[in-house]
């Protein structure tokens, strides 16, 4: 073996040992929470229970970690960038998100993709801006080093700590992080999201019943089996809570299109990203459960490019954000708030329901 070959072999061995060391370290520190984890509140200012028969306004919004506004694209959706927002832009997006979510119009706010300490959002604790009343945060993505899904070690995503945030103007007695099935095996699992439900229990004045509020963000970049398994567990969970006599609202980003939404917003770019489909049989078996969504405006756009509503050929829309409500809730209103994707790649969805 000549000198060049020996040197090349040494370089290859060093690289392999480095990769093995990185994978080993990430395996040792992998985020692996228990199936059910009791959560501590971030804030505990709201102390009044829900009045019996109350009408409540609920806002759900995947805020895209205040890094996926109108100027942004994302490599996993066919775009070019891992991080397409500088710190000033992230702070501007976050300010716009806060302006809506802090509105006194909403009694309950459920947000997805809220960062607490991530490289992609410059270590800004977004809960410090978005939490008020009584609020809880549940991690569903926690990893000290996430590679670039296209180039691996070059231009990595870096450290990520992100999750679900629930905010209430009414008392929350307790909240739990309920783990969902992870569709990825080792080693992909160690740098992937660990999806969960953020379940909040709100007492009702003069009653043993509770309003069970489920904040969710189901699997995105899987082969479809992960979404189905997580939806099945969600269905079983909300049905069990309803059978206890509780009111149930489950809302968030399903990463599955709601019934009939493909008629309004057909998926013309399935080669880039294709969501799952929510079927009616995915609802609990009891009569009266319903999906709650609005087709008047899309709730999500594909991040294959910065937002350009004039480019109809390359701008793909979906309706994947909304709610499931139990039969003992009366739907009064649902509307998608068309924000022009200014501060996130999702539009918020507002729902009003009455406890019957």
pLDDT at 1: 66
Among the residue ranges 6-15, 88-97, 190-199, the one predicted with the least confidence is 6-15
pLDDT digits (tens, 9 = 90+) for 88-110: 999 999 999 999 999 999 999 99
Examine the pLDDT at 353 and tell me if it is beyond 80: yes
pLDDT at 84: 83
Phi-psi region of 161 (alpha: psi -120 to 50; beta: other; left: phi over 0): beta
Across the range 196-216, mean pLDDT stands at 98
Across the range 35-55, mean pLDDT stands at 97
pLDDT at 130: 98
Across the range 257-278, mean pLDDT stands at 96
Is residue 50 very low, low, confident or very high in pLDDT (cuts 50, 70, 90)? very high
Q: Measure the CA–CA gap between 56 and 48, rounded to whole angstroms.
A: 14
Across the range 114-134, mean pLDDT stands at 98
Cβ-Cβ contacts under 8 Å for 282 (sequence gap 6 or more): 231, 232, 235
pLDDT at 105: 97
Is residue 349 very low, low, confident or very high in pLDDT (cuts 50, 70, 90)? very high
Q: Measure the CA–CA gap between 249 and 58, rounded to whole angstroms.
A: 9
Q: Measure the CA–CA gap between 296 and 208, rounded to whole angstroms.
A: 38
pLDDT averaged over every residue in the chain: 96
pLDDT digits (tens, 9 = 90+) for 125-144: 999 999 999 999 999 999 99
Are the beta carbons of 71 and 89 closer than 8 angstroms?
A: yes
3-state helix, strand, coil in the chain (%, to 5): 25, 30, 45
Is residue 6 very low, low, confident or very high in pLDDT (cuts 50, 70, 90)? confident
Q: What percent of the chain has pLDDT over 70?
A: 100
Is residue 12 very low, low, confident or very high in pLDDT (cuts 50, 70, 90)? confident
Are the beta carbons of 302 and 31 closer than 8 angstroms?
A: no
Q: Measure the CA–CA gap between 50 and 207, rounded to whole angstroms.
A: 10
Examine the pLDDT at 174 and tell me if it is beyond 90: yes
Across the range 59-73, mean pLDDT stands at 98
pLDDT at 9: 85
What is the pTM for the complete model shown?
A: 0.96
CA distances from 228 to 90, 220, 249, 326 (A): 33, 11, 19, 20
Examine the pLDDT at 17 and tell me if it is beyond 80: yes
């Amino acid at each position: 073996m000549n000198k060049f070959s020996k040197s090349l072999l040494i370089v290859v061995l060093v690289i392999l040992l480095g990769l093995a060391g990185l994978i080993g370290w990430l395996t040792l520190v992998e985020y692996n929470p228990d199936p059910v984890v009791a959560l501590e509140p971030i804030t505990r200012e709201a102390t009044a229970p829900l009045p019996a028969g109350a009408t409540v306004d609920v806002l759900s919004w995947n805020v895209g970690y205040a890094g996926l506004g109108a100027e942004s694209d994302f490599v996993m959706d066919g775009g070019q960038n891992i991080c397409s927002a500088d710190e000033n832009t992230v702070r501007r997006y976050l300010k716009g998100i806060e302006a809506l979510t802090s509105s006194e119009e909403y009694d309950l706010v459920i947000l997805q993709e809220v960062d607490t300490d991530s490289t992609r959002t410059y270590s800004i604790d977004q809960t410090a801006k978005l939490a008020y009343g009584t609020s809880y945060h549940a991690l569903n993505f926690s990893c000290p080093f996430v590679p670039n899904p296209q180039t691996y070690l070059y231009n990595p995503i870096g450290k990520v700590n992100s999750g679900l945030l629930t905010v209430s103007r009414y008392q929350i007695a307790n909240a739990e992080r309920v783990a969902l099935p992870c569709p990825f095996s080792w080693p992909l699992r160690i740098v992937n999201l660990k999806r969960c439900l953020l379940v909040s229990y709100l007492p009702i004045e003069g009653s043993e019943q509770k309003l069970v509020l489920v904040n969710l963000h189901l699997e995105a970049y899987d082969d479809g089996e992960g979404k189905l398994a997580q939806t099945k567990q969600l269905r079983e969970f909300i049905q069990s809570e309803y059978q206890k006599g509780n009111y149930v609202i489950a809302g968030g980003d399903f990463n599955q299109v709601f019934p009939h939404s493909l008629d309004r917003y057909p998926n013309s770019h399935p080669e880039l990203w294709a969501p799952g489909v929510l079927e009616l049989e995915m609802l609990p078996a009891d009569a009266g459960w319903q999906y709650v969504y609005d087709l008047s405006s899309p709730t999500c756009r594909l991040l294959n490019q910065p937002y350009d509503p004039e480019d109809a050929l390359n701008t793909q829309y979906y309706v994947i954000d909304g709610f499931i409500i139990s039969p003992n809730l009366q739907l009064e209103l649902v509307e998608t708030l068309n924000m022009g994707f200014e501060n996130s790649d999702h539009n918020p969805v507002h729902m009003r329901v009455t406890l019957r």
